[in-house]
A and B are shown apart, each in its own frame.
Chain A
Amino acid sequence: MTAVENRAGSTTVAPPRARPVLRAGHWLSIPVRRRSLVIGASLALALLVLSVLTLTLGSLGIPLWQLPSALVSPPDARASFVLTILRGPRLVTALGTGAALGVAGALFQTVTRNPLGSPDVIGLGSGASAGAAAFTLLLPGILPTPVGALIGALSAMALVWIGTGRGFSSPGRMILVGIGVSAMAVAFIQFVMTRVGQQQATTLAAYINGTLADRQWSDVATVGIPVLVLVPCALVLGRRLDLIEMGDELADSLGARSNPTRTLVILTAIGLATASVAAAGPISFVALTAPQVARRLARAPGAGILLSGLMGAVIMTFADLLVQQSPFGVQLPVGLLTAVVGGVYLGYLLVREWKKGTV
């Protein structure tokens, strides 16, 4: 059903440049730029290379020439252990969370019309951590951790929505209120951390940074199913989103009802970001940087949902590869690496934005 056709085929006057269009049935048709296709293909290739490196590097890695056959049927117990327990689930979780965060970030940045609007900046991650902390350590056994994280993330977003007084339409206020909500959530997490034993506190401290260590196939499902459901939703919403980027009045007059669309998009983004939190903890700044980098590479405005998702997956797999193969002996949570790199990048963006005078 999916095919790249030439939209300009039947018109009498040929437009200056024919645009290929990605179609699936009547309800999905996405104009595709050639540059985006090339970038997308390169990112997919990069993902493949990174995945192969993740599985082959290191003392436990599977030799490259054995990998294709090992994927079909592992030759020995060691390879089987590496593939199905040690690195396989971890790799797939990295891919899933990266994609989820990239798409969530693209949606957030488009809806808020602000390159700095991301689930991290407005407190979703810290809200989710607080929820996870509450339901795993203070009230253990009532609800599973992912549900706790979902409740925390949704409460944080509700507080931001109420706090701005204008819903999600004022990005500056959203950021300020989000930072206030984060402060509350962080205080709560620190409170929980003093009420439990050292072992639990250390586990919680590692979790709230976002980690991919010891992931299992259940984590893959936690993030994989929402990605498979919500990314198509995001693509369908993407077209209306492009219209919203031109301004609410124009979007409304073109039939893309801006307020319901915005709410749906935000909910999709929150769903994706929360799925990622549930699987790997709050990974900082991937949602912020992935769409930015994707946008820069593709040199195109607009959501670039698929590209951002691919970019997010590339960033996550790369960061996790670095953490796994770090020469320092200890394996730190991958979220620390993304926090440092992303923090520096956010600082750079901030400087750029104040040069342009948009913040």
Chain B
Amino acid sequence: MARLAPGLALAAFVLAVAALLSIAVGTRFVPPETVWNALIDPGSSFDDTVVQSRIPRTVLGLLCGSALAVSGVIMQGLTRNPLGDPGLLGINVGAAATIVTGLAFFGVGTGQERVWLALPGALVAVVAVYALGSGRRGATPVKLVLAGAVITAILSAYIQAVTLTHPDAFESYRFWVLGSLAGRDPALIGQVLPYLIAGFVLALFLPGSLNALALGDDTATALGAKVGRTRVLGALAAALLCAGSTAAVGPIAFIGLAVPHIVRTFTGDDHRWLLPYSALLGPALLLLADVLGRIVASPQELEVGVVTAFLGAPVLLMAVRRMRGRA
């Protein structure tokens, strides 16, 4: 296990490079050394202004990528299911449903209220999907994903019905629902930060119990882990992280699914390594996807939600192919 510690430094380095690229690459390319200078000693040249304008976007990417990846690890650990992802398990659509309700019927849902709207929706969706997908024999990946599809179908129909009858809500919804780091209000960072921090702090207490849970409920109880409490805390942490990120940048699929899978190939199933590595590599992947979106569609850009969906689906295929005999 000791060999994994230096790797964390490497992961942090990868993240730093991704963050640097996220600031440097765009319609106007800013050379890395200029970025560095502008960060240390902000001047008033044009490049400095460009760098300043890209900082909020990068910070959002850092926070949300980390939140999504950590919530993915927690969901996969809690459900003992390699396909835990906020998008696949209906959490995003739960958050979207309450946000649309707020937008259409109460005229709220643009600023700080959005997190408060997203949170209950996300939590209810987690509980509903898990309840529908498990049952006496426990959850299997196919059951959970189908349960996610059921909840998604019902809630999407609701969202469509509301947005089709409320044009104003639709106008705001269609730009939010395509997860993107661009054009988000920098004030959002401060607004969602408390929820994300709460989620991360809760996640700090989880690795040991998630490891125990991986052995099955009975063994975990025998080992002294409090299974019920772990489930509740874990679901709360995952929902806080996911809802916070969704409220800030919209639903972004597959980061929560892909990052834990990539990390697992070199850490194994130990959550004490899985969580910190995912927290570092999640934002790296999100920022790189964002940069890629700016490169492929240059001089315009492709929203990061589209990029991750197209990068993430192959990872899902990989995950499915790996679960031999389980589906």
The answer for the CA separation of A115 and B233 in the assembled complex, in Å, is: 36
Q: In the complex, which residues of chain B have a beta carbon less than 8 angstroms from the beta carbon of A330?
A: 165
- Give the Cβ gap from A319 to chain B, nearest Cβ, in Å: 12
Q: Is B87 within 8 A of A183, CB to CB?
A: yes
The answer, yes or no, to whether B149 is at the interface (CB within 8 Å) is yes
Q: Is B164 within 8 A of A187, CB to CB?
A: no
The answer, yes or no, to whether A39 is at the interface (CB within 8 Å) is no
The answer, yes or no, to whether A231 is at the interface (CB within 8 Å) is no
Taking CB atoms and an 8 Å cut-off, the chain B residues in 275-327 that contact chain A are: 302-303, 305-306, 309-310, 312-313, 316-317, 320-321, 327
The answer, yes or no, to whether B153 is at the interface (CB within 8 Å) is yes
> Residues 3-35 of chain B: 1 if any A CB is under 8 Å from the residue's CB, otherwise 0?
000000000000000000000000000000000
Q: Is B178 within 8 A of A350, CB to CB?
A: no
Chain-A contact segment, one of B105-113, B134-142, B188-196, B206-214: B134-142
The answer, yes or no, to whether A51 is at the interface (CB within 8 Å) is no
Q: Is B137 within 8 A of A181, CB to CB?
A: no
The answer, yes or no, to whether B238 is at the interface (CB within 8 Å) is no
- Give the Cβ gap from B101 to chain A, nearest Cβ, in Å: 16
A202 with B170: in contact, given A336-B160, A359-B143 (CB under 8 Å)?
A: yes
In the complex, which residue of chain B has the Cβ closest to the Cβ of A116? B146
Which of A121, A198, A335, A357 meets B171, CB within 8 Å? A198
Q: Is A343 within 8 A of B317, CB to CB?
A: no
Q: Is B132 within 8 A of A163, CB to CB?
A: no
> Residues 161-183 of chain B: 1 if any A CB is under 8 Å from the residue's CB, otherwise 0?
10111010011001101100000
Which of B141, B153, B163, B254 meets A205, CB within 8 Å? B163
The answer, yes or no, to whether A284 is at the interface (CB within 8 Å) is yes
Q: Is B153 within 8 A of A343, CB to CB?
A: yes
In the complex, which residue of chain B has the Cβ closest to the Cβ of A182? B149
In the complex, which residue of chain A has the Cβ closest to the Cβ of B152? A343
The answer, yes or no, to whether A251 is at the interface (CB within 8 Å) is no
The answer, yes or no, to whether B267 is at the interface (CB within 8 Å) is no
> Residues 142-183 of chain A: 1 if any B CB is under 8 Å from the residue's CB, otherwise 0?
000000000000000000000111000010110111011101
In the complex, which residue of chain B has the Cβ closest to the Cβ of A347? B150
Q: Is B302 within 8 A of A191, CB to CB?
A: yes
The answer for the CA separation of A131 and B316 in the assembled complex, in Å, is: 22
The answer, yes or no, to whether A88 is at the interface (CB within 8 Å) is no
Which of B83, B135, B170, B303 meets A351, CB within 8 Å? B135
The answer for the CA separation of A205 and B303 in the assembled complex, in Å, is: 19
Which of A175, A183, A202, A342 meets B164, CB within 8 Å? A202
Which of A164, A186, A339, A354 meets B157, CB within 8 Å? A339
The answer, yes or no, to whether B88 is at the interface (CB within 8 Å) is yes
Dominant secondary structure at the B interface: helix
The answer for the CA separation of A285 and B157 in the assembled complex, in Å, is: 12
Which of A121, A164, A172, A181 meets B149, CB within 8 Å? A121
Q: In the complex, which residues of chain A have a beta carbon less than 8 angstroms from the beta carbon of B68?
A: none
Interface size on B, residues (CB 8 A): 51
The answer, yes or no, to whether B154 is at the interface (CB within 8 Å) is yes
Q: Is B167 within 8 A of A180, CB to CB?
A: no
Q: Is B320 within 8 A of A163, CB to CB?
A: yes
Q: Is B174 within 8 A of A190, CB to CB?
A: yes
Q: In the complex, which residues of chain A have a beta carbon less than 8 angstroms from the beta carbon of B140?
A: 359
A194 with B174: in contact, given A350-B132, A359-B140 (CB under 8 Å)?
A: yes
Q: Is A339 within 8 A of B156, CB to CB?
A: yes
The answer, yes or no, to whether B145 is at the interface (CB within 8 Å) is yes
The answer, yes or no, to whether A67 is at the interface (CB within 8 Å) is no
The answer for the CA separation of A343 and B148 in the assembled complex, in Å, is: 11
Q: In the complex, which residues of chain A have a beta carbon less than 8 angstroms from the beta carbon of B150?
A: 343-344, 346-347, 350
Which of B83, B135, B167 meets A202, CB within 8 Å? B167
Which of B151, B170, B253, B303 meets A183, CB within 8 Å? B253
Q: Is B142 within 8 A of A343, CB to CB?
A: no
Q: Is A176 within 8 A of B165, CB to CB?
A: no
Which of B143, B147, B178 meets A194, CB within 8 Å? B178
Q: Is B170 within 8 A of A339, CB to CB?
A: no
The answer, yes or no, to whether A209 is at the interface (CB within 8 Å) is yes
Q: In the complex, which residues of chain B have a beta carbon less than 8 angstroms from the beta carbon of A163?
A: 317, 320
Q: In the complex, which residues of chain A have a beta carbon less than 8 angstroms from the beta carbon of B164?
A: 202, 205-206, 209, 332-333
Q: In the complex, which residues of chain A have a beta carbon less than 8 angstroms from the beta carbon of B157?
A: 209, 284, 335-337, 339-340, 343
Which of B83, B135, B303 meets A176, CB within 8 Å? B83
Which of A190, A339, A346 meets B178, CB within 8 Å? A190
In the complex, which residue of chain B has the Cβ closest to the Cβ of A187? B309
In the complex, which residue of chain B has the Cβ closest to the Cβ of A121? B149
Q: In the complex, which residues of chain A have a beta carbon less than 8 angstroms from the beta carbon of B303?
A: 191, 194
In the complex, which residue of chain B has the Cβ closest to the Cβ of A193? B174
The answer for the CA separation of A12 and B35 in the assembled complex, in Å, is: 95
The answer, yes or no, to whether A137 is at the interface (CB within 8 Å) is no
The answer, yes or no, to whether A184 is at the interface (CB within 8 Å) is yes
Q: In the complex, which residues of chain B have a beta carbon less than 8 angstroms from the beta carbon of A344?
A: 150, 154
Q: In the complex, which residues of chain B have a beta carbon less than 8 angstroms from the beta carbon of A354?
A: 135-137, 143
The answer, yes or no, to whether A86 is at the interface (CB within 8 Å) is no
Which of A164, A183, A347 meets B147, CB within 8 Å? A347
Q: Is B137 within 8 A of A357, CB to CB?
A: yes
The answer for the CA separation of A21 and B327 in the assembled complex, in Å, is: 39
- Give the Cβ gap from A182 to chain B, nearest Cβ, in Å: 8
A332 with B161: in contact, given A194-B175, A284-B153, A347-B150 (CB under 8 Å)?
A: yes
Q: In the complex, which residues of chain A have a beta carbon less than 8 angstroms from the beta carbon of B154?
A: 339-340, 343-344
The answer for the CA separation of A175 and B327 in the assembled complex, in Å, is: 9
In the complex, which residue of chain B has the Cβ closest to the Cβ of A206? B164
A-B contact pairs, 10 of them (CB 8 A): A175-B142, A179-B316, A180-B317, A183-B254, A187-B309, A198-B167, A205-B164, A330-B165, A346-B150, A347-B150
Given A191-B305, A333-B160: 17 more A-B contacts, CB < 8 Å: A121-B146, A176-B141, A179-B145, A180-B317, A183-B253, A183-B312, A190-B174, A202-B164, A205-B160, A205-B163, A206-B164, A337-B157, A346-B150, A351-B132, A354-B135, A354-B136, A357-B137
7 interchain residue pairs of minimum CB distance: A187-B309, A172-B327, A339-B157, A343-B153, A180-B316, A343-B154, A190-B178
